[in-house]
Amino acid sequence: MACIVDISEMETIVFANHKGGTGKTTSCLNVAYALRERGHSVLLVDCDRQTNLTQSFAAKVPAGQHLGTVLLGQASLSDVVLEVGERLYLVPSSTDLGEAEERISQKPGAEFALKELLDEVEAVDYCLIDTPGGLGKLTYAALTAATAVFIPAQPEYYGIEGLVGLLDVCHQVQKRLNKALKIGGVFFTQYNRSDRRRAQRDMVQLLESHITFGSLVMQTTIRPNVSLVEAQIEKEDLYTWAPQSAGAKDYQNLTSEILARL
Ligand SMILES: Nc1ncnc2c1ncn2[C@@H]1O[C@H](COP(=O)(O)OP(=O)(O)O)[C@@H](O)[C@H]1O
Ligand SMILES: [Mg+2]
């Protein structure tokens, strides 16, 4: 990528939650589309060996040209970056990513591996990082490379302890690895504020009044919406596929709230 802007201007946002299925990939993808709608350029980084984000695009990943090979020093970032649309770029993942993660974990300072790579990136406004479930080395590396972390969560009553634990991890990263990390907020996915189901509503209220979480709970919630699933399967931009859908509106609102919280 050509050098145009000062790299310090790039915001690097990571979507993280150690639980699977909370909407990390869906959020990463659609916040990227919403940012692009606003004229920004976006680099997506898929840190999950399940490759869901990578598979959300039609682009073919050439053999051995993915984040894992870059982390191992066998390719450069510019070798593997795919242009997946106008102003939209992807560092793809691969099922081989786990092996790369294991190998870099054995080296000192593995948490800084991704930051070092992204420090080289120029000429994009936002970098969005999708992380896997669990709290492996690559998630720590993503938090170390980020300027902000946002946490998609489902309002399950018994999820609160997990969220407190995750927040603690973010604070440790802030203290030891990345002082610049901002804990941007927690937003609920597949949830409607007018939902009358008691357990979900109670969970949201509990978190909103929680001493540690209160100010972190975001106003925007992402409603259950089939267009989000369809657009991803069809490898289409949500704002082309279903611009009037609830999903498109919710992700526009989420993007505005994210930008306001940076
Ligand atoms: N708001 C939503 N409405 C309907 N389905 C959703 C929504 N958000 C996510 N999904 C679906 O739920 C599943 C898990 O979401 P995903 O973003 O892949 O979670 P994660 O990346 O955290 O594992 C996917 O099949 C996705 O299409
Ligand atoms: Mg995912």
> Can you tell me the distance from the alpha carbon of 58 to that of 136, in angstroms, rounded to the nearest whole number?
28
> Can you tell me the distance from the alpha carbon of 250 to that of 247, in angstroms, rounded to the nearest whole number?
5
Can you read off the two tokens belonging to residue 77? 């970032």
Instruction: Report, at the CATH architecture level, how domain 7-261 is classified.
Output: 3-Layer(aba) Sandwich (3.40)
- Which ligand sits closest to the CA of 229? 1
Q: What is the pTM of this model?
A: 0.95
Parse the chain into domains and list their residue ranges.
Answer: 7-261
pLDDT in tens, 75-109: 999 999 999 999 999 999 999 999 999 999 999 99
Contact between residue 28 and residue 128 where contact means Cβ atoms under 8 Å apart: yes
- Which ligand sits closest to the CA of 47? 2
pLDDT in tens, 216-240: 999 999 999 999 999 999 999 999 9
Asked whether 25 lines ligand 1 (CB < 6 A), one says yes
Residue 136 Cα, ligand 2 centroid: separation in angstroms? 14
